Amino acid sequence: MKKHSLYKEGHVTLVGAGPGDPDLLTVKAVKAIEAAQCIIFDNLVSHEIRRLFPSHAQQIYVGKAKNHHNASQEEINHTILSCAEQGLRVCRVKGGDSFVFGRGSEEMLFLGKHGVQVDVIPGITAASGCTTYANIPLTHRGLAQGCTFITAHADKDLGLNWQALATLNQTLVVYMGLSKTQWLTDKLSDSGMCPSTPAALIEKGCTPEQRVITGTLAELTEMKNTHKIQSPALIVIGHVVTVSQQMDWLQQLQESAPDAMMMTA
């Protein structure tokens, strides 16, 4: 089995930092961060994780937020390359997983073409971490035998097979879709998905500020506007959302049980 040559000078490690909770970092990710001489990080890397960055390391922010990009992808690529060519141990830290809508593979290929060694440390992607914290399973016997991840972030039409997405009876998780909730609703409904299909919005998942709003596909935009949901937010569509609703009901039942027992006595 090939051993990864982490922490060498002039070497880049792509680190998936997970969806926000620093306790979800892998041991390997923490070691890479602690050994780094230069850390290049994104907007979705939580402040709690940033506090783990060693004081001796140079820190370069290249975050991208909606309608406000601190650096283009090409600029980010060259920034990473420049630091590696200076002989630094570079840690490129991304929210979630670098290879799930994170453009980590693009950075890896760019660096590889310039002769830079790259290692990749996986992170918990938002679809897994945020739904788990929200008590929403991605798969559940009798409800969903599979799961599909898509991103709604694109300059042009995504070119997706909407009919397949609408009728597969799987869990659908949408990254970066908060500004396109009505578009998503229309696309899926027009392609055959029932408007009453359960849906959830998970805001700032895996952080102390996490909020989970549940309803239906037809209510997505209303849910977003009524509760003033802000990015980062994940959209989950499918019958697995009802598991979370059942857990809420069970928790309320348990909390009210002592009072009910006292009334019986």
Catalytic center residues: 42, 64
Residues 6+ apart with CB under 8 A from 132: none
Contact (CB, 8 A) for 236 and 202: yes
Rounded to an integer, what distance in angstroms lies between the CA atom of residue 243 and that of residue 249? 10
Strand-by-strand arrangement of the 89-94 sheet: 58-61, 38-41, 89-94, 11-16, 118-121
**In the beta sheet, which residues pair with residue 40?**
60, 92
Contact (CB, 8 A) for 200 and 241: yes
Q: How many CA atoms lie within 13 A of 78 on its CB side?
A: 4
How many CB atoms within 10 Å of residue 162?
A: 18
Is the alpha carbon torsion for 231, 237, 243, 245 positive or negative?
positive
Question: What are 252's two structure tokens?
Answer: 């309320």
What is the H or E stretch that residue 251 is in?
Answer: helix 241-264
Closest CA to 130 of 65, 204, 180, 199: 204
How many CB atoms within 10 Å of residue 190?
A: 11
User: H helices then E strands: how many in the chain?
Assistant: 9, 12
